[in-house]
Structure 1
């Protein structure tokens, strides 16, 4: 009888312990569920949106910029070739769309200098400055942080498609016109002209071509990416050249 009583007591003790463990586990499970229900999980933050506006040169470096800023920003280019300022006046609203842009990195210039398919509009430095001023005024209304990309260098010979030879003095008139506009509006400047002018012979495709080699576009993309990061972080002052 004593042995049977002892066995019964041990069984009861074990049963109580098991029930206590089960009860404790249930309490822990309930607590975990309550925490999951009431602890707010932060939503994934949407990346800043960056729009690059420009001609075929920016079309080449934009994918490289997007790759460099992966995980930091979403980078897009305006549809097609931005061409001259007259095209910008006509198509800018379509470029902007309904999106909310955090940064807009933009350029018009070479097409104004060379006059490719210009629809017979005046492309003088004076009219270039007037149209560029109007474009900047509209871009400021977006509320985005604006970055002006100076036009990359002219080629030393007649440009292969237009047959036009732009001399350094004429180029300087357009660069100075753009500089006045950006100074008036206090726009951050990404000086791509200063970056590429000393190395144009090394990275230019040819003496009658304004485009660059892959290595040249990588150089451009690196500086463009830095200027965008600077704008996003607020470390670059308005009107400051990169």
Structure 2
């Protein structure tokens, strides 16, 4: 077994043992958790929801799926502006009142036009959208937990013919914005960026942005462990 595979195996054992050490809640109502995020969140959802069984009532944004993981819609929440708009619509329904709002948005915000280099959501607008999401959660007495954005390999992503470019420098900048806007307000931030980098992100890529099943399991376990530790 290579050193990389050994590290992955040890990480899996650690997170699974952490989760199993947490006794499921019995005899009382589980706290509700609602996830909205990009395609990365779609891919770790199965493992995350499985890990949280008996601890949280888990739901996420769903709907008719789009033909590509790159296109927002269905389970894919898209950029922070789309997330904010969707949550405003959800909160118009009095039956929507999750205890925890788990949000993972950023990859669609940093899309750039290959010809003009124009970014979809500017840093200033990203900061405002995050502040508005936080205010919306507080207004409705939900605890916001943020998941930051996963890394990008510039050379692998930005090839000729790609409809949009992304840069890891933007990922890092937008993650810092989230830390400033949300972290400084006491919002918990799950550092999925550093976790993914530390587990050899590029070795697990299956395309320009997404990961194989092994990484999806690791990410789901890590997020679940972070949530359970915070209980």
> Which of structures 1 and 2 has the bigger CA Rg?
1
| Greater helix content | 1
What's the counterpart of residue 219 of structure 1?
Answer: 218
Tell me the number of residue pairs that the alignment of Structure 1 and Structure 2 aligns.
Answer: 185
Shift of 1:99: 2.8
* Matching residue of 1:63: 46
CA contact 2:153–2:202 (8 Å) conserved in 1: no
Query: Which runs of 5 or more structure 1 residues have no equivalent in the other structure?
Result: 1-42, 234-242
Cα separation, 2, equivalents of 1:172 and 1:164: 18
**Structure 1 residues 130 and 63 mapped into 2: Cα distance closer, same or farther (>3 Å)?**
same
Question: TM-score of the superposition, structure 1-length normalised?
Answer: 0.69
Shift of 1:201: 1.4
> Any stretches of 5+ residues in structure 2 without a counterpart?
1-25, 63-74
- Structure number with higher relative contact order (C-alpha < 8 Å, ≥ 6 residues apart): 2
1:52·1:77 contact (CA, 8 Å) conserved in 2? yes
Q: Specify which of 139, 142, 147 is matched with residue 140 of structure 2.
A: 142
1:48 aligns with 31
Deviations 1:93-112 (A, max 9, x none): 34454233122221210000
TM-score (norm 2): 0.72
2:112 and 2:140 map into 1 onto residues whose CA distance is 29
8 A Cα contact 1:86 1:131, kept in partner: yes
Pairwise CA distance, 1:46: 2.0
Q: Distance in 1 between matches of 2:51 and 2:32?
A: 14
What is residue 10 of structure 1 aligned with on the other side? none
Secondary structure of the 2:210 match is strand
C-alpha root-mean-square deviation of aligned residues, in Å? 2.4
Deviations 1:140-165 (A, max 9, x none): 22322221101011133335785333
**CA distance in 2 between partners of 1:65 and 1:186 (Å):** 23
Preserved contact between residue 106 and residue 149 of structure 2 (Cα < 8 Å)? yes
1:205 has 2:203 as partner: no
Q: Is 1:102 paired with 2:99?
A: yes
The counterpart of 2:85, out of the listed 74, 79, 90, is 90
